């Protein structure tokens, strides 16, 4: 992993944990989470999910913002005179789009996360309930023989 003098940590919804790899690698770096205004406006995530995310974020040393994710993370990086953005990996196509925008102005390092489940088949990420139907069997090792 490259070493940076003034990175910021971008925490996103796919890695809401105090053991976020960026927070562990750079414990003194400022961290930010942005509630994605586009997802909130279109009700693509439920109020229950927003509350769950907020409760997780209360356990983390992050600044909470709302708006366009790439724009807010970039502004936060400029505000802190950062030389890089550190984040954790995500399977989300939207994540890849945001990273591409961020990389137009600053280096972005994506750290690997220990997977929640050991499964390399297709996971439906459209709804948590569909994801959980598959993941639960592997998370608790309750697969049928």
Fold of the 7-114 domain: Rossmann fold (3.40.50)
pLDDT at 113 over 70: yes
Strand intervals (E) in the chain: 7-11, 31-36, 63-67, 84-88, 108-111
Per-residue pLDDT reduced to its tens digit, 10-66 = 999 999 999 999 999 999 999 999 999 988 887 777 888 899 999 999 999 999 999
Give the integer Cα–Cα distance in Å for 46 and 87: 24
**C-beta separation of 105 from 130 below 8 A:** no
| pTM attached to this predicted model | 0.81
Q: Where in the chain is the domain with CATH 3.40.50.620?
A: 7-114
Q: What's the distance, Cα to Cα, between the start and end of the chain in Å? A: 41
């Amino acid at each position: 992993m490259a070493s940076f003098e003034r990175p910021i940590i971008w925490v996103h919804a796919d890695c809401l944990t105090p053991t976020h790899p960026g927070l562990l690698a750079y414990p003194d770096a400022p961290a930010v989470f942005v509630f994605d205004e586009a997802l909130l406006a279109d009700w693509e995530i439920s109020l229950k999910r927003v509350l769950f995310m907020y409760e997780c974020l209360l356990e983390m040393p992050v600044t909470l913002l709302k708006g366009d994710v790439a724009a807010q993370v970039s502004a936060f990086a400029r505000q802190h005179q950062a030389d890089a953005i550190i984040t954790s990996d995500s399977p989300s196509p939207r994540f890849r789009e945001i990273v591409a925008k961020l990389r137009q102005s600053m280096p972005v390092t994506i750290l690997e996360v220990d997977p929640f489940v050991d499964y390399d088949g297709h996971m439906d990420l459209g709804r948590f309930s569909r994801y959980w139907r598959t993941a639960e069997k592997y998370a608790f090792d309750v697969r049928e023989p």
